Amino acid sequence: MYYFSLFFFVAVISLILPDTYLAPNTEPVNVWYQFVLFFVSLLIFYTRGAYSFKNEDEPQRFIKCRNEMTVAYFYGISYAVTRFIITTTSRCLLALIVGYFSGNTVLTCFIDYNWVIFPAIIIFWFVRYGVRSILDENYYNMGNMWTSLIVTGLLELYHVWTGRLTSNFAYISYQETEVQQRVTA
């Protein structure tokens, strides 16, 4: 099963999730810096991702992507665990790290998920249930985000380090087009 990185999408969504305590029957409050960080992350992501299409298709490319995503996974997991301690600073760092390191991988690679995804989904649902019973109803959405970051981060960290990164179709198509243009030139 080849899919894009789930961790990247969960991390980007966590940038715009309201982080204020919500009283019952109130609207979520988004702060302006959340949207700025979201757009900065996407700008870095697309700039780095577009640049990475020009990289040669070598075995070292996957090692580089694996190492870069390891930084994003570890920081994302740490971010989810320490969310109460450092809010604005860690969210800013997550935006920069995910934007810089993930753009290269998400736009050019697929993760070849194997059977490990099924126990991870089961673990997610059990942890989610535990979070729901521990956290107040008003913090439940943030608890889901933390759980998602931790579970998808650990799942993809396992897949990336067991050699399950593959080139995605857009990258393969771009490389074939580049080769054809070089041959005709």
pLDDT(120) > 80:
yes
* Entry pTM: 0.59
Burial class (CB in 10 A: 0-12, 13-18, 19+), 53: middle
pLDDT of res. 147: 83
For 83, the domain range is 2-184
Q: Buried b vs exposed e over 143-163: b needs ≥16 C-beta within 10 Å?
A: bbbbbbbbbbbbbbbbbbeee
Asked if 16 and 34 count as a contact pair (C-beta separation under 8 A), the reply is: yes
Tell me, what DSSP letter sits at residue 52? H
Beta bridge partners of residue 2, listed in sequence order: 112
pLDDT of res. 19: 60
Between CA 42 and CA 64 the distance in angstroms is: 21
Phi, psi of 168 (to 5 degrees): -90, 175
pLDDT of res. 26: 59
Tell me the pLDDT tens digit for each residue of 11-66. 877 777 776 555 555 566 666 777 888 888 889 888 888 888 887 778 788 888 88
Question: In which band, very low, low, confident or very high, does the pLDDT at 83 lie, cut at 50, 70 and 90?
Answer: low
| Spatial CA neighbour of 145 closest among 159, 160, 135 | 135
Question: In which band, very low, low, confident or very high, does the pLDDT at 185 lie, cut at 50, 70 and 90?
Answer: low
**Beta carbons within 10 angstroms of residue 108's beta carbon:** 24
Tell me the pLDDT tens digit for each residue of 92-113. 888 888 888 887 888 888 888 8
Between CA 101 and CA 131 the distance in angstroms is: 29
pLDDT of res. 42: 87
Residue with tokens 């970051």: 149
pLDDT of res. 139: 67
Residue with tokens 């019952």: 24
- Domains in the chain, number: 1
Beta bridge partners of residue 166, listed in sequence order: 110
Q: Which residues fall within 8 angstroms of residue 125, CB to CB, at 6 or more apart? A: none
